């Protein structure tokens, strides 16, 4: 009699982590053509090895996310043909059910639009960072004069307790502080596209730095 109890384990997070790791692992060192395929293979995203605590056999699908623990079959044992077919059918049905719940998937066009928009807003922020008039300054001081290339702005440390304001603030509130003094302008609404652009530019300069809110 086939044991019908099984568990579905979703390991999407592990798969994602493995995928990210494969990118961060690139050294950029020159390697001989012969070595390329070996290194590339080594850096391929790998499915995490699924094991059950109870020592039951775990079957993983090629999507790297869907796996099933088979009660009554120990690790190292071979499934009977009937059992194997049953397991495969159940797992494929689970994948189909998952797909049927998904609405729209991201497309190449989505990525294209996101990248273009991100770049556009960062470039807009770059301009504003060097333009005191556009941010409403009144005395000719612009952001870059104290923070060339957004240095010492540390976007990754916000929200944090800002000593001038004496409370935990978002980075936009801190930009507004600078707009008021030293730039001698008026603070902008916190959803003002200009503030968002400046924030995007500052954050872009710290891309890849781990988040460390509250750091001083």
Partner 1 sequence: MKTRFQKLKIFLIAVSLGSMILALAHDGSAVGQKFKPDLPPAIPADLWELLIPKDNPMTEAKVALGRDLYFDKRLSVDDTVSCATCHDPKTAFAQPTSVAEGVGGKKGARNSPTVLNAMFNVEQFWDGRAKSLEEQAKGPLINPIEMAMPSHEAVVAKVKKIPEYAKRFQAVFARPVNIDDLARAIAAFERTQLSGDSAFDRFNAGDRGALSEEAQRGFELFKGKGRCVTCHEFNASSPFFTDFKYHNIGIGMKASGNFEQLARQVQQMAQAGKLDADALDKLSLTEGFSELGRFLVTRQPKDVGAFKTPTLRDIELTAPYMHDGSMKTLRETIEFYNKGGEGNPNLDGGIRKLDLTEQEISDIEAYLKSLTSERVRRLTQGSSQFSVFSFQSSAVRKYSSVFQE
Cα–Cα distances in angstroms (integers) from residue 136 to residues 121, 147, 153, 193, 214, in the given order: 19, 18, 20, 13, 29
Report the b/e string of 108-126 with b at 16+ CB within 10 A: eeeeeeeeeeeeebbebbb
User: Of 36 and 112, which has the nearer Cβ to partner 1?
Assistant: 112
Site for partner 1 in 168-197 (CB under 8 A): none
What is the spatial distance between Cα 87 and Cα 68, in angstroms, rounded to a whole number? 8
Contact map string, positions 73 to 112, toward partner 1, x by CB under 8 A: --------------------------xxxxxx--x-x--x
Helix/strand/coil (H, E, C) string of 89-107? HHHHHHHHHHHHHCCCCCC
Residue 117 contacts partner 1 per CB under 8 A: yes
Closest separation in Å from C-beta 183 to partner 1: 23
Residue 54 contacts partner 1 per CB under 8 A: no
Residue 209 contacts partner 1 per CB under 8 A: no
Closest separation in Å from C-beta 175 to partner 1: 22
Which two three-digit tokens encode residue 168?
A: 């935990």
> What is the 8-class DSSP label of residue 162?
E
What is the spatial distance between Cα 69 and Cα 9, in angstroms, rounded to a whole number? 8
Contact map string, positions 119 to 158, toward partner 1, x by CB under 8 A: -x--------------------------------------
Residues that bind partner 1 (CB under 8 A): 99-104, 107, 109, 112-113, 116-117, 120
């Amino acid at each position: 009699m086939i044991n019908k109890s099984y568990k579905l384990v979703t390991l999407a997070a592990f798969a994602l982590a493995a995928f990210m790791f494969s990118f961060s692992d690139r050294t950029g060192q020159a390697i001989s053509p012969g070595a390329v395929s070996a290194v590339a293979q080594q850096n391929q995203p790998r499915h995490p090895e699924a094991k059950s605590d109870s020592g039951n056999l775990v079957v993983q699908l090629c999507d790297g996310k869907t796996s099933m623990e088979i009660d009554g079959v120990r690790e190292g044992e071979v499934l009977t043909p009937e059992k194997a077919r049953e397991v495969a059918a159940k797992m494929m049905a689970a994948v189909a059910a998952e797909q049927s719940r998904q609405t729209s998937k991201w497309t190449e066009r989505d990525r294209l639009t996101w990248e273009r928009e991100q770049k556009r807003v960062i470039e807009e922020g770059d301009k504003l960072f060097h333009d005191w008039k556009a941010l409403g300054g009144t005395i000719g001081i612009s952001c870059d004069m104290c923070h060339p290339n957004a240095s010492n702005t540390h976007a990754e440390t916000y929200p944090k307790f800002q000593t001038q304001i004496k409370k935990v603030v978002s980075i936009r509130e801190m930009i507004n502080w600078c707009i008021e003094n030293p730039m001698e302008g008026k603070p902008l609404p916190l959803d003002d596209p200009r503030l968002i652009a400046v924030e995007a530019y500052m954050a872009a300069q710290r891309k890849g730095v781990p988040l460390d809110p509250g750091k001083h």
